[in-house]
Structure formats: structure tokens, C-alpha cells
Chains A and B, each alone.
Chain A
Amino acid sequence: MATAREIRRRIRSVRNIRQITRALEAVSASKVRRAQDAVQGTRPYASKARQLLADVAALAGGETRHPLLTRRDVVNSAYILLITSDRGLCGAFNINVAREAFDFAQQYGKPVSYVTIGRKGRDFLHRRGRKIVAEFANLPARPGLLDTTPATRTLIHDFLDGRCDEVYLAYTEFRSMVSQRPVIRRLLPLAADDLAGDLSKSGPRPAYEFEPGPVEILDGLLPRLTEMQVYVAVLESLASEHAARMVAMRNATDSASDLIFSLTLSYNKARQQGITNELLDIAGGTSALEQALKQAAATDQLRA
């Protein structure tokens, strides 16, 4: 049984930990909001770029068999872009995405290589001995589009080079403060179905004039749309990371409170025990003294 002093010291340290986790929870809460705003900020561009693409595709007709849009007849291998966080202390956040990517790779049945954004995912894959083609880490706290384009360029480049026939995104979708879900989405070839949906919605459009030409516009637009998709995925992942960390920190704060409660109980018990022991000591001491005195008196009497 620990002494009262030791327990008191533990209570103090747990209380300090609780203070820190509580602060981290508040920090994460504000960061979630900021990341959510960033996701919102991409909406205008994304929707307008899609509409532009639908217009070009509708008007350019058969000329739009762009390689980034074309599904390959034979698929030999794929890349997965695994988006995780750089930092830990966010519960099962990173493990969940990584596992989702693993399951997907297993079902895929063909060789899969990885490109990673985020330190945790890279380390995880490395430990498991998976093939990592490229890795990007240390994104700033508020990533801009330019921070994610190197990764996207790598993907587009290798895709066009024929080093892979499909590219998938594995990231964590932000649904709400308490719910984040790992998802797998195809990035390349770009989903023509989605675009066709936009196309039928937009209806007939007037005859546009293209400068320099529809093919050039498509050439410029498709890589940017791809970049946007990756960027949005990174932002979603960031919002999810902060939300996951917030929940993890709240749980830690709660656990600390529980721990403090039970430690306080033990502390009180130990204190009681100490007092009882002291009383016993005193009582034992006095009775021993009394006995000794009695004995002394007895011997005195005998002598007398």
C-alpha cells in the first residue's frame, strides 16, 4: 500500500495532465472549425470548375478522350494516396484510414503501391514493409493548394507514364464533430460518370468560343481538378484529425477525472490508516508503559 504522501503526489500529477488535455481539447475544437472553413472555401472553385468542364466536354464532343479521363482496358497496378496526420494523440484516427487502405489493397488483388501525405501513414506502411513510391509530410497548419500539388503532380505523372493504371485516395471524411469515416475514392482516371451527371444538368449552352482551343483548356483544367480533389481530401482529413484529437483529449480528461476520484479515495483511506496506526501506537505505548509501571510497582512491593 502506497503511503499517503505518494498518493498525493500522483493526484497532483494527474491533475496537471488533466489541465493539459483539457487545453488541447479546446485548441483542437477551434482548429476543427478553421479546417471546416477551409473545406467550405474550396466549394466555389470546385463547382465552377466542374461546370466549365461539362461545358467543354459538351461542346468539344468526341475530341475529349483525354488520358486523365480514360479508363484503361487492362489494369495491372494501382497507387493509393494515403492521407494521414503528422502528429499522434488523436485516437485511432490514423490506424483507421491505414486499415481501410490495407483492406482495399487486399481485395484489389493486383499490386498496389503507396504515396503518402502525413508522417504517421508513412511510418505505418514502412513498418509493414509496403511499397512507398513517394512521401510528403510536414504540411503547414493551414495548408494551401500549393502545399498539396507536389503529391498530385507525382500521381498524375506516374499515371500518365503508365506506372499505374488507377489511383485511389484513402482519407478520412469529416462528417461531424463526433463522426469521421475513412473512405476510399478513385482519383484517376477522373470519374466520367460524375462529370456526365453535371453535363446533363447544365442543359444546352450557347456556342462558346475557345481560346486557344478546347483541347488546351481541357489539358489545363483536368490536372487542376485533380489537384483540387486531393486538396479537398487533405483538408477533410485535417478537419477529421482535429475532431478525432478533440474526442481523444476529452476522453483523456474524463479518465484523468476518474483517476483523480479513485486516487482521492485511496488517499483518504491511506490517511485514515495512518491515523489509526498512530492511535494504535499511542494506545500500545501507553498500555506498555502502564504495564511496565505496574510491574515496577510490583517489584517495589516485593522488595518492601
Chain B
Amino acid sequence: MPLTLEIVTGEREVFKGDVDMINVPGGDGDMGILPKHAPVLSTLKPGVLRVKIGNDYQEFAIGGGFIDILGDHVIVLADSAERADEIDIARAEAARLRAQEMLKNAPQNKEDFFRLETALRKSEARLKAANRRSTRRTELPS
């Protein structure tokens, strides 16, 4: 497999391995990365990172960060990253509701507002990653 991907957070290495294709939520819009991509340094938004390995897909919920694409080596420095099957859906849902609730009482401070919005996006991303996984699970006969 032609692309080497590493996903690291401040606490641990979440993923390291060969993949065929990567989809990431870039700061300037989603990016699809295939082998022989031009070297790019980009920021990442909270969202779902999706990798294709053979005919299989794996999702990660990313809480913002950076991506470093150099040759066929891709490094994702994430503020947080969870594999889809690690996500506790009930907790993620609770976090989303909490963030939404707090956003409603819109804080005056721009920085706080930004932080809350990030929290909301993060929790939505986690739910999205987790849900995609569970729906596919029900579709597959195995």
C-alpha cells in the first residue's frame, strides 16, 4: 500500500500504518489525499478523518490539528483523535447537547465563542464517525 499514515496526539500514537487514500477536514476545506500528493502543510478542522485500506474504510474523529504531507508520508498532529469504534455514543451525544446549550447563551467573548464552537464541532465529528461505523455494521451481513 502506497501511503504511510501516522496519527499522533499529545498523549499517544493513535494510528500508524499503510493506507490507500485519506480524506481529511482541512482548514480550507476537505482534502482527499492519494499517493504522489504535492507537499502540503495544512491546518485541520474538527471533523472526520477517513482512510481507505484495501476495500475497507476506517474513520477517526479528529479534534483539529495539523497535517504534514510529504511524499507518500502523511503525518496528522491531532488535538484529539479517536477511532470510530472507541467512541462512546451516549457520551458524545451528551457533549454535543452541552455545547449546543452553552452556545445558545451566546458568550460575548470572541475567544470563548470560538472555543465553544470548536467543542460543538468536535462532538458532532465524533458522533458522525461513530454513526457511520454502526450503520455500516448493520448493513453488512457478517
Q: Which residues of A contact B (CB under 8 A)?
A: 38, 41-42, 44-45, 48-49, 52, 55-56, 144-146, 205-212, 214, 216-217, 220-221, 224, 227-228, 231
Contacts and interface: CB of A to CB of B under 8 A. Distances in A.
Interface in B81-115: none
B9 interface: yes
Contact of B11 (A41, A209, A216, A217): A41
Contact of A228 (B10, B38, B40, B43): B10
A28 to B, nearest CB: 22
Interface string B12-46: 11000000000000111000000000111111000
B48 interface: no
Interface string B29-71: 0000000001111110000000000000000000000101010
Interface residues on B, range: 20 to 34
Decide if the interface of chain B is mainly helix, strand, loop or mixed.
strand
Q: Which 7 A-B pairs have the closest CB atoms?
A: A211-B42, A145-B10, A41-B12, A44-B8, A45-B8, A209-B40, A208-B39
Contacts of A221: 66
B41 A217 contact: yes
A220 B41 contact: no
B39 A207 contact: yes
Given A206-B39, A209-B40, A217-B41, A48 B27 contact: no
A55 B41 contact: yes
Interface of B: 6, 8-13, 26-28, 38-43, 66, 68, 70, 75, 77, 79-80
Given A42-B11, A210-B42, A224-B77, 14 more contacts: A38-B11, A41-B13, A44-B13, A52-B68, A55-B68, A145-B10, A146-B80, A205-B70, A206-B70, A208-B39, A208-B40, A211-B27, A220-B43, A228-B10
Contacts of B8: 44-45, 48
Contacts of A45: 8-11, 77
14 contacts: A42-B11, A44-B13, A45-B10, A48-B6, A49-B77, A52-B75, A55-B68, A145-B11, A209-B41, A210-B40, A217-B41, A220-B66, A224-B10, A231-B10
